[in-house]
Structure 1
Amino acid sequence: MLRTLKELFNTLAEPSPADRPEQQEHRLQLATAVLMVEVMRADAASGDDERTAIVRALGEKFALQADEVDRLFELAQSASRDAPDLQGFTSQLNRGFSAAKKVRIVEYLWQVAFADGHLSNHENHLMLKLGDLLYIPRGDFVAAKQRARAAAGLKPEGH
């Protein structure tokens, strides 16, 4: 697992052919976690529900132990505060994941957005932006949103 803030930002540098597989995996884990933190921060009333959704999603997606998830979450919060934009993170995911895996990540992001039972305008706007940055086809994006909404026990839109 990543250890320092310097390592954190080094992981966001362009991958080199000499990168070890675990370095590439750390880079993808961090980029995913940062986007989740960004969605959490988009809600002015974010709290334990969103954090729990992030921890659960990271543990599920990357099969990490609880202490590894906690460290990844901590690093993601630091990176989120210090990052000038989301492009570096989304480009990591675009290079490292297939279209199907990116759709699954978008579904996790929606789960974070719906974790408190409410989707704010800021969360929705950020999700639309992330969907575009990750090149998710609109139909897949909407389907991921609906699956996350149903998983949160919320009524479909328009009802």
Structure 2
Amino acid sequence: MLKKFFQAFRPPEQTALPDPDAELALGALLVRVAKADRDYQVEEISLIDKILSRLYQHNAIEAAKVRATCEKLHAAAPDTDTFGKLIRETTDLQERLAALEALWEVVLADGHFDEGEIKIVEEARIAMGLSFNDSQAARERVQARLEAR
């Protein structure tokens, strides 16, 4: 009985986070961008789930679970460029360009962007080995899709 009483005052044990792969690294970057303006909205959460579903063929529940893991990775995360380097080292050019486009999708989702969001995208772009022109083209593609809606 005393044991249960004292355990109530201990912090809960932390579950170990998985080692990030390219998917978790991108998810953590998406979460990082969405939280950069300190206003993590339901729409952004939903968008991240949709992006993870689209890029990695998850159903809605799987995507939400991956995003939840990515939120934890973001909170305990290494630098943005660590995630970007992991993506660069484990994916081909097309996947890296899709990742950059996904980052822009989150940045532009709410119609305005914060300097912190741009900084994260730029750090990730450099770490993924992509050019400024790649970033501009990705941004323009996302903007064109948003305007077409």
Q: Same fold (TM over 0.5)?
A: yes
Where does the alignment leave 5 or more consecutive residues of structure 1 unmatched? Answer: 13-26, 155-159
TM-score by length of 2: 0.83
Matches within 5 A, 1:138-157: 138-153=132-147
Find the counterpart in structure 2 of residue 57 from structure 1.
51
Partner of 1:88: 82
Mapped partners of 2:112, 2:26: distance in 1? 22
Which 10-residue stretch deviates more, 69-78 or 46-55?
Answer: 46-55
Aligned to 1:6: 16
Query: Contact 1:58–1:64 (CA<8 Å) still a contact in 2?
Result: yes
Q: Residue 150 of structure 1: CA displacement?
A: 2.0
1:5, CA displacement in angstroms? 4.1
TM-score, length of structure 1 as denominator length: 0.78
Partner of 1:16: none
Distance 1:7 1:65 in 2: 22
Corresponding position: 1:74 with 2:68? yes
**Does structure 2 retain, via aligned residues, the 8 Å contact 1:5–1:75?**
no
2:64 partner letter: D
What SS is found at the alignment partner of 2:103? Answer: helix
| Aligned pairs for 1:11-50 within 5 A | 11-12=19-20, 27-50=21-44
Greater shift in the superposed pair: 82-91 or 107-116: 82-91
Alignment check: 8 A CA contact 1:33 1:76 kept: yes
Higher-Rg member (1/2): 2
RMSD: 1.8
State the Cα distance separating 1:7 from its structure 2 match: 4.7
Residue number in structure 1 paired with 2:5? none
Structure 2 unaligned segments of length 5 or more: list them: 1-13
Report if the CA contact (8 A) 1:117-1:152 is conserved: no
Contact 2:82 2:127 in 1 (8 A): no
